[in-house]
Each structure stands twice: as C-alpha cells, then as structure tokens.
Chains A and B, each alone.
Chain A
Amino acid sequence: MTEAAYSQSRGREPRPRDGWIHRNRQTLAPLLFLAPGVLFFLFYVIFPIFESFNISFYRWDGLGEPRYIGLENYRELATDRAFEVSLWNNLKWLLLYLLAIPGGLFIALFLNQTVAGIRLYKSLFFFPFVISQVVVGLVFTWFYDPTFGLLNTLLEGLGMSPVNVLGDPTLATYGIIAAGLWPQIAYCMILYLTGLNAVDPEQIEAARLDGAKGWRMLWHVIIPQLRPATFIAFVVTIIGALRSFDLISIMTNGGPFGSTRVLSFYMFEKALSEYGFRMGYGASIAVVLFLIMLCFIAYFLWSMYQDEKGGR
C-alpha cells in the first residue's frame, strides 16, 4: 500500500461497524442461512425441471448424441394409446384415492373415545401405514391370487365364481387402488385423530345445548373445526395418488397388457427400464405429469397463502 493511500485510509478513520457486511447484516444473515438449502433446491429440483423440459424436445437414448426433434415427442404422445390409458388411470387414482379422507375421518371418529386399551386399537389401525408400500403390494397380490388367494377362497365359500382381480384389465387398477387405500386411510385417520384433540369442547357443549347432535353436530360443528386436518389430508392424498408407483410395480408391473400403468410408471418404463431408454419421450411424459401436479401445487400454495393472510 502506498503512503498516500495509507494515510488516506487512516484519515477516514473507518470503524469496523461501518463495513458493508455490518450495515447489511440484517439482510445477509438469513440469506446465508438459506443459501445451502436454496442451492440444493435449485440444483436438485429446479434445474432438473427445466432440464426435463429441454430433454423432452430431443430424441436421445441416454448414450449417443441427442437429436433435436421439436414437439415430435408430444405429437407421438397424442396418438399413444398407452399414454391415454395411463392418463385415465391417473384420474381414477386421483378420484378414488380421495375416499381415504372420509374413510380416515370415520375411523378417527370411531376411535376418538376413551375405552380401556384404545391406544392399542389406534396403533393397530395405524399399522398399515407403518409397513412399506412394497409389503402392502405383496400382501394384496397374494390376497387377490386367482388360485390360492384368500379373496377367491372367500368368494368360493359364498358360492360365487372366482375373479382374477389383477389379471383382468377392467378390474386391475381398482384392485391396486384398494390396496393403496388401506395405508392411506390409516394416514388420514392419524391426521384426524390429532385434529379431533384440538376440537373446542366448549363449542360442542354450546351446540349440544342448542339441540344439535348426530350428523348435524358432525357437519356443522366438528368438521369445520377439522378444516386444517382436512387440508393436510387432501394434500397428502393427492400427492400419494400421483406418486402411485411402487404398488403398481409390485402388483402388476403395469400389466396386464399395460392396463394399470399410470404416468409415473409409464415414464419410468419408457425412459429407465430394461426395454426403455427413450429419454426424450420419457421426459415429455414427465412434463405432462408435472403440469398436472402444478395445478394442485398452485392450488395448495394459493390456499396456504390465503390462510397466512387470514392468520395475520
């Protein structure tokens, strides 16, 4: 440092408190704490989303040179029957999976009492959610087994003809959804059980004095108070329905003849499975799935934002 500069800087008498960092510490501290999370989120979530959009415009086997083909993949999707089947199946999953919410609510109401050993009953009802989806899939596959399965043994006992649930293209998807509902109802039940703890006893007392009971009590007094629990149950159920991959993979592997595929499974099959490696086509399926999810995500975010505003 030259003498002049030295004296100049001394002349200003800089105090450490005046530093840029110090002046902006209120802004910097949270940014620094956020940085690792944000960087990882950008790299592992945001960047892949755009990369998927990009790859969906190419024909690429994952090994050679990608070739730009514009919207060709999407045009093929429009004529691809397997894709159409997957889309409809996704819709079935979304709608029927929502049954887990009323199912969970009623079990929760049923279990929300003080009897000896109720904790045990609660844990038993919660049990299916604890075991892995793969195990649930296997258990239901055996349950449905056309030759040795419990379901057909029962049906035969009742004098009915056996059904091959997972082998029948019209029934297979519903069979898998039923298997998926088992743990999902347990999940919703736990959400409602915690929600029921927060129900205000004074309001119930007041409603009772006004003569409300049974369904009216439930509909007008209890359920409105369970709104936060319902919202969370709705969110996890929708996400669960769109993520329905493992059950399908275990129970039918997409079959019979592709009738139980959903978008996520079809994407995996096209892009990453043994016979796949059409990265561009898989990416275009992923983009469609993303756009569907985006509708729900936008709704969830909007709804949470409204709540926040109301809360202030």
Chain B
Amino acid sequence: MLKKVTTAAAALALTTGIASPAFAELSGTLKIFSDMSNPAPRAVMEKMAADFDAMHPDLDVELTIIDREAYKTQIRNFLSANPPDVANWYAANRMRPYISAGLFEDVSDLWEEPEIAENLASTKGAMTIDGKQWGVPYTYYQWGVYYREDIYNELGLEEPTNWDEFKSNCQAIIDSGRKCFTIGTKFLWTAGGWFDYLNMRTNGYDFHMALTNGEVAWTDDRVRETFANWRELIDMGAFIDNHQSYSWQEALPFMVNGEATAYLMGNFAVAPLRDAGLGLDQLDFYQFPSINPDVELAEDAPTDTFHIPSGAENKEAAREFLRYVVSADVQTEINNGSNLGQLPVNASASVDDDEMLNQGFAMLSSNSPGGVAQFFDRDAPAEMASIAMEGFQEFMVFPDNLDDILARLEQARGRIY
C-alpha cells in the first residue's frame, strides 16, 4: 500500500508569513485524506496542502495520500472509524452510500455563497442528492473520440457530424484494413462509456438518467434501439478483436501502431498516447456525433470531488479548504497542462492552452445542451453498474445474447432499486 504522511511545513509558514488578513484565523489541525496517488495529481495535492498551510500559520495541514484503488475500499473504514476533515471522492451516485449512512457533511451553505454559486453552477447537479450539496468538485475531464488525424487525412475522411458519416467513415477505415475503434473491456467500464454515448445519442440525457436511476425497464424498446445501433458497429467489425482480454492501457498500442484509428475515451488517454509517440498532427479529438437528431447532445464528464466527513473535527478549516480548492486561481493552476491537465470546474478560471482541453472545454460549455453525465458507473448504483457493464461486454462479444442479457439486467433492476 502506498501511504505517505506529509507533515505540515510549519517552519515554511513562519518564515514566509504571508497570512492574508482576508481569511479568518484558523487553528488546530486539518487532516486531509486524498486518493490522488498518481505522480502528477500527487504533486498537485501536496502543493495545495503546503500552500494552504502557509496561508494559515496557526493551522497544521496533515496530508495522507492513499493509493487510488485502495482508497475506494478504505474510505468505508476511515469515514466511520477515523474520519479526516477533508476526503476525496467522486460525484453523483457514488456519493449516495455515504450520504445515506450520514457520513458526509451537508455543505449546501457553501453553495449558497455567491463566489461558489455563480462559478460552479455547471457541476452543481452532480454534487446534489436529495436537494442538498455534499461536497465540491476540483477537476473534471471530457470524454469523446480521440482519433488518428494522419490516418483520417490519408483516407480523406472528415470528423463525422452525424451517425451516417460516423458509419461511412468507419466503413472506409475497415476497407483500408484497419479497425475503427480500439477498446479494452477486461475491466468492463470502457464498454460503459460506449453505452453512455450510444444511449444518450439515441434516447437523450433524460432517458439515460432515468435508466441509470432504475425508472425505465432494461427491456424497453428504446433501450433495444440503443443496442441495435451498437450492433451495427459490432457487425461491421468496427472494434478490435479480443478486446475482452485487454485493459484500456493494453488497448492503446493498437491505436499507436495504426491498427485501429480511434478510441472513445476520457481525456486521460491523451497523455499516454502522446508519450507513446503520437504527435500533435497525429492525434485529434471530436465530439461523439448525433445519432437521433431529435435529442440534444449530452456528454460524459466525470468529476472528482472533495468532501467533509460528518465526523470531521475541524469543519471550519475544512470549509475554508474547500473554498480554497474551487477558487478561480487555484483551479487554473491545478488543472493546467503541467499539473492535472484537465478542466477547471470554476467558470472564472482559465483553461490551459492545450488542443484537447480547449476542444473539450468548448464542447462542454457550449455544445452539450442536453446535460452532463458523470459516467455509467457513477450515475448508476454500483451494483447495477457492475452487472450492466458485464452485460455490455458480453453483448460486444456475443451480440446474439442480447435478449438474455437484457432480461438479466431487468431482473437485477427489480432487486436493486
């Protein structure tokens, strides 16, 4: 287990002495548990903690960084047994178990402050359950189709704007001896991304949300329509073979080698693709095109968050830290290309000058009128998500099993909700 306690640099705070009078004097200890364990996020988190510590000379910031995967199970223990003052988590339905158990603090008061209410409006929905807000976001990123620009140019293809172009592009790519999409479904969630987009484009955001909330039957004809669209791609041979054996990282080489030309993924795939040698003129991004022209475009943009456990001891300092994290300057800083390389949640913050981030930001702020979803496994309850994503994987390998899969999901829906 990766675990490291970074103790507060009290000396630094004393020597620099830049306590701003604008802030109320905070004292005591602020314990932060974070899951930002990958190298870049880790540096961001450590810097935020150190800066916040320096701003408040009487306050000791104690940061504990826990491995991101291990965190997902440990949070259950520490929230009830040894709650910190601030903890990382995810937005939407992923918060629900902790809210129902009364382990997260209601921070609706923060969201009433104009500074946050005005600038964070776009993510308010994702932080709201039962009419209250339970935390603040600190970063999010777009999903969409990352494609090999050079291969598209070679084949004379344009970024598709509707479903027919999408399919005809794909046919042209297949005819050139390549696959349209790489994907690795070993860990299931990548297939959830495809379902999210196909369903939101076929039936719209509201339907998608109703489905993930268990209000619509999985055997509904509209759901079948989504799968019918998906099946068109599968029958064309659009996806790489044997995707069920690969993780999402293991699926990257197919795109780097040019055996597949595109990847429906989150923006985090850009860094490894560039590291693998794809240049600026080889990699580009387009929004998943419209399928049903009657529904508004909606996007997946998973949001990572900070929360205050209800058992926290220093809630005053914790609230101040949350205000600090979402402030425009900090948002600009931590989300820039040399740090997280993602999108800031604060509307007054500026987006780093990066080809993908700019496109993603423009897409989410102006071309996603339908709404912004979190991701299948964050919008649906965990158990439904795991059963459904397993069904999606099976569908992608054996599309003929659809009836059986949908019946199974419907049975699970009856039990879970």
Q: How many angstroms between the C-alpha atoms of A144 and B244 in the bound complex?
A: 13
List B residues 152-177 near A (Cβ within 8 Å): none
Which residues of chain A have C-beta atoms less than 8 A from B97's C-beta? 61, 63, 277
C-beta contact mask, A261-279 vs B, less than 8 Å → 1, else 0?
A: 0000000010011111110
Select which of A145, A274, A278 is within 8 A of B73 by beta carbon.
A274
Closest to B100 in A: A64
A68 within 8 A of B: no
Indicate whether A258 sits within 8 Å of B187 (C-beta atoms), given known contacts A63-B103, A147-B242. Answer: no
A136 in contact (CB, < 8 A): no
CB A292 to nearest CB in B, in angstroms, measures 25
B2 is an interface residue with CB less than 8 A from chain A: no
Min CB gap A13→B, angstroms: 58
Q: Is the CB of A258 within 8 A of B382?
A: no
Interface string of A27-68 (1 = CB under 8 A from B): 000000000000000000000000000000000011110000
A275 contacts B394, C-beta separation under 8 Å? no
**Does A257 have its Cβ within 8 Å of any Cβ on chain B?**
yes
Q: A146 to B261: give the CA distance in the assembly, Å.
A: 20
Q: How far is the CB of A129 from chain B (nearest CB, A)?
A: 27
Q: Flag if B385 contacts A275 (CB, 8 Å).
A: yes
Q: How far is the CB of B76 from chain A (nearest CB, A)?
A: 6
**Distance to closest chain B CB from A4 (angstroms):** 57
Q: Which of B100, B245, B382, B415 contacts A146 (CB 8 A)?
A: B245
Residues B408 and A81 in contact, CB atoms below 8 Å apart: yes
Q: How far is the CA of A275 from the CA of B103 in the complex (A)?
A: 19
Are B244 and A275 closer than 8 Å at their CB atoms?
no
Residues in A whose Cβ lies below 8 Å from that of B186: 252-253, 255
Query: B382 and A274: CB pair below 8 A?
Result: yes
* Number of chain B residues whose Cβ lies closer than 8 Å to a Cβ of chain A: 30
Tell me which of A63, A164, A269, A277 has the highest count of chain B C-beta atoms within 10 A of its own C-beta: A63
Q: Cβ of B242 and Cβ of A146 under 8 Å apart?
A: yes
Interface residues of A in 246-296 (CB under 8 A from B): 252-253, 255-258, 269, 272-278
With A166-B245, A277-B76: A255-B188 Cβ-Cβ less than 8 Å = yes
A213 to B100, CA, bound (A): 74
**Which chain B residues lie closer than 8 Å to A277 at the CB level?**
76, 97, 382
The reply to whether the CB of B98 lies closer than 8 angstroms to some CB of chain A is yes
Contacts of A253 in B (CB 8 A): 186-187
Q: How large is the interface on A (under 10, 10 to 19, 20 to 34, 35 or more residues)?
A: 20 to 34
In the complex, whether A167 has a CB less than 8 A from a CB of chain B is yes
B residues 92-112 touching A (CB-CB < 8 Å): 97-98, 100-101, 103
User: In the complex, what residues of B have CB within 8 A of residue A62's CB?
Assistant: 76
Considering the chains assembled together, what is the distance between the CA atoms of A81 and B288 in angstroms? 35
Contact across chains for A146 and B241 when beta carbons are under 8 A apart: yes
Which residues of A (131-179) have their CB < 8 Å from a CB of B? Answer: 144-147, 164, 166-167
Instruction: Please tell me if B391 contacts chain A, counting CB pairs below 8 Å.
Output: yes
Determine whether the beta carbon of A276 is less than 8 Å from that of B242.
Answer: no
What per-residue 1/0 map shows which CB atoms of B223-245 lie under 8 Å from chain A? 00000000000000000011011
In B289-331, the 8 Å CB interface with A consists of none
Which of chain A's residues have a CB closer than 8 A to the CB of B100? 63-64
Complex: chain B residue closest to A64, CB-CB: B101
Q: Are B382 and A63 in contact (CB under 8 A)?
A: no
Asked if B386 is at the interface (CB within 8 A of a chain A CB), the reply is yes
**B393, A256: Cβ atoms under 8 Å?**
yes
Q: In chain A, what residue has the closest Cβ to B79?
A: A63
Q: Which residues of A contact B245 (CB under 8 A)?
A: 144-146, 164, 166-167, 256
A66 → chain B closest CB, angstroms: 12
B80 interface residue (CB < 8 Å to A) = yes
Name which residue of chain A comes closest to B242, CB basis: A146
Say how far A248's CB is from chain B's closest CB, in angstroms. Answer: 13
* Docked-complex contact B73 and A272, CB < 8 angstroms: yes
Contacting residues, chain B, for A258 (C-beta < 8 A): 390
Say yes or no: A255 contacts B241, CB within 8 Å.
no
Q: List 16 A-B contacts (CB under 8 A).
A: A64-B101, A145-B245, A146-B241, A146-B245, A164-B242, A164-B245, A167-B242, A167-B245, A252-B186, A255-B390, A255-B393, A256-B245, A256-B397, A274-B73, A275-B385, A277-B76
Seen from chain A, the residues whose Cβ lies within 8 Å of a Cβ on chain B are 61-64, 76, 81, 144-147, 164, 166-167, 252-253, 255-258, 269, 272-278
Sort A-B residue pairs by CB-CB distance and give the 4 closest, nearest first. A275-B386, A257-B394, A63-B101, A146-B242
A61-B97, A164-B244 provided; 11 other pairs, C-beta below 8 A?
A: A64-B101, A164-B242, A167-B242, A167-B244, A167-B397, A274-B69, A274-B72, A274-B73, A275-B383, A275-B386, A277-B382
